[in-house]
Structure 1
Amino acid sequence: MTTQPDMLQVALQGFHTSRIRYAGQLGEGHPEEQMIIPTIEVIYWACVLDEQLELNDAPYGASPDFGREVLLGTRFARNRATHQLPMLIKKRSGLSVPVTVPVRLEEMVWLPVEDLPPGRPAPRQQRHYVQHLAGTPVRHTIDQIASWFAAEQNRQGSLLGKGTASLTEVPHQPNHAS
C-alpha cells in the first residue's frame, strides 16, 4: 500500500501544528513537566512522517544527512518507550545555549542510552540516538527535525512537495516580565 501524498501533508501539518504549540508553551514559560505533553506529540508526528517517507521515497530513505540521523535517533527513543515516552527525558538544571526568552533555569534533555527502558536491538538507530540526542535539550532536537523536514519539502521529487506548513516559521516567543 502506498501512502497518499495528501495524508503526508496532513501528517506534516500535524507536526507543524504541534511544534507551534510546543514553541508557544516554551515561550510562555510553562514548567518543564508540562512541556512533556507537546513534546510527545511533536515526536510522534515526526516519527510517523519519517517512517512513511522512508518506506515510500527511496532517496529519502537512503539519505545520510544530519537531519535523517537525528530522526533515526528519535525513532530509537520512541520505539524504546512507546508507552513510557515521558520517561526518556529528564530535567537538568542550568542554562543551555542558545538562551531563550524567558530564560529557563531548567531544561528537558534526552536520557543517556543506558538509562532508557529496555527494547529490541536497533543498532543503527541507537548509534544516532547516542550521537545526536542523549544529553541534549529536547528543544534542539525538535528544531533540528523541523529544519530537516523544511529541507525535505524543497527537495526535487520529495513526497512532501510544497505543502501548506512552513516548518521554519515558529510563532514569536513572548518576553514575559517576572
Structure 2
Amino acid sequence: MTDPFDIPKARGTLRVLQLAHDRWTELYEGIEGLKFDDLNGQEEVAAIIRGPAVEMMMWARGLDDLCRGMPERRDGQLVPTEPDLPGYETARATVAGLVDGARYATNREVHQLLALMQPKGALKFPLTFPLAFDHFGGVQWLHEMQLPPAAEERRGQAPLRQAYVDHLAGRPVGPTLDGLRQWFESQLS
C-alpha cells in the first residue's frame, strides 16, 4: 500500500505561491505608469519585478512536481517516485502548455540566469512631443528570436521550450502568473 498524497504540504506550498503572486501584483500595480528615468530605468524596473515573478514560478514548478508525484526522468520518461494527487496528471493535460512553458522560463531564469521577462515602454497621456515610450507599460515574455539558439538548449528542454514559444513568448507575464495561481487553486481547493 502506498502512502497517501500529502495534501497539507501541497496546500502549504500553494499558500507561499499565493503570497509570491500577491507581492508580484502589488509591485506591478505600484510601478504601473512609472516614468523611466535615471533611478527607474528599464533595466532597474526589470530587476525589481523579476524577483517575485521568478519566486512564484519556482513555487509553481515545485507544486507541479509534488502533484505529479515528484517525478524523475528515467530513460526519457517522467516516473513518479512519491504519491501523486489523484487525477492531477489527466487534468494537467488541459494546461500543460502553460505549466510547461512556465517551467522552461523558470529553468532558464534560475539555471542560466537569463532574464526572460522585459518591461515594455508605453506612451503617457496626454501626449507630449516628441513622442516617447518612456513609461512602464507592462512586462512581457521574450520572443523566440531573443532566446538562445535551440541547439544550445540543455538536455530535455526542447519540449518545454516549445511550450514556452507556443504559450508565453511575446505575451504579457501577468496573465501567465494569474493562470498558474488559478490552476493550482482549482486543483487544491
**Please, what TM-score do these two structures have when normalized by structure 2?**
0.66
1:52 to 55, 59, 66: 66
The structure carrying a bigger strand percent of its residues is 2
Query: 1:139 is matched with which residue?
Result: 174
Q: How large is the Cα RMSD of the aligned pairs?
A: 2.5
Residues 141 and 85 of structure 1: CA distance in aligned 2, closer, same or farther (over 3 Å)? farther
Q: Is residue 70 from structure 1 mapped to residue 98 from structure 2 by the alignment?
A: yes
Paired residues of 2:46 and 2:117 also in contact (CA < 8 A): no
Mapped contact 1:80–1:116 kept (Cα < 8 A)? no
**Aligned CA distance change for structure 1 residues 80 and 29 (closer, same or farther; 3 Å):** closer
Listed as ranges, the gaps of 5+ residues in structure 1 are 96-103, 153-159, 163-178
TM-score of the two chains, using structure 1 as the length reference: 0.69
- For residues 134-155 of structure 1, the C-alpha deviation after alignment (integer angstroms, 9 at most, x for no partner) is 1111111101111212222xxx
Deviations 1:50-101 (A, max 9, x none): 12112213521233213x3201111122223423455112222237xxxxxx
Structure 1 partner of 2:122: 94
Q: Kindly indicate whether structure 1 or structure 2 has the higher relative contact order, using CA contacts under 8 Å at least 6 residues apart.
A: 1
Distance 1:62 1:85 in 2: 32
Letter in 1 for 2:140: V
- Compared CA separation, residues 58 and 122, structure 1 to 2 (3 A): farther
For 1:62, what is the secondary structure of its paired residue? helix
Q: What runs of 5+ residues in structure 2 fail to find an aligned partner?
A: 33-44, 70-83, 124-134
User: Does the aligned pair in 2 maintain the 1:110–1:137 contact within 8 Å?
Assistant: yes
